[in-house]
Amino acid sequence: MEMLTYKDTRNYAPIDVTKGMDLLTREIVMADTQAPEGYEIMPKCKFCKNFKETDTFIGTCEASMNEPRFIAYPDMTAVTCEMYETM
Ligand code: SF4
């Protein structure tokens, strides 16, 4: 897997859309910068085996029981999704 950005890890708490706190170092960091190696991945639709990208920044959840499948956003946090499957 490619390196994670801070916003894609569990070791990051957002302050606003661009920055947040590194929860291990307590430093303010930019959301889109690369997180140090070993930081824990945040479950998100884009990291789920059931996510199918249909266009830029949008997709569907293939685990959806509905027809058509419901829309999923790649950056949607999935910590409570019971159907989340790691790739
Ligand atoms: S199963 Fe959950 S995490 Fe996976 S794509 Fe569907 S909604 Fe997102």
Instruction: Say what the pTM is.
Output: 0.90
| Domain covering 43-81, topology | Ubiquitin Ligase Nedd4; Chain: W; (2.20.70)
25 C-alpha to ligand 1 centroid (Å): 30
Instruction: Please determine, for residue 51, whether its predicted confidence score (pLDDT) is greater than 90.
Output: yes
| Domain covering 1-41, topology | Ubiquitin Ligase Nedd4; Chain: W; (2.20.70)
Average pLDDT value for the chain: 96
Closest residue CA from atom 8 of ligand 1: 45
Domain borders along the chain are 1-41, 43-81
Confirm whether 1-41 and 43-81 share one CATH topology: yes
Q: What is the pLDDT of residue 79?
A: 96
Q: Closest ligand 1 atom, CA of 60? A: 5
Question: H/E element holding 57?
Answer: none
Q: Give the whole-angstrom CA distance, residue 47 versus residue 78.
A: 9
Instruction: Please determine, for residue 3, whether its predicted confidence score (pLDDT) is greater than 90.
Output: no
Instruction: Please determine, for residue 36, whether its predicted confidence score (pLDDT) is greater than 80.
Output: yes
Q: Give the whole-angstrom CA distance, residue 45 versus residue 29.
A: 23
For residue range 6-26, list pLDDT tens digits in order: 999 999 999 999 999 999 999
Task: Tell me if 42 CB under 6 Å of ligand 1.
Answer: no
Q: Give the whole-angstrom CA distance, residue 6 versus residue 31.
A: 5
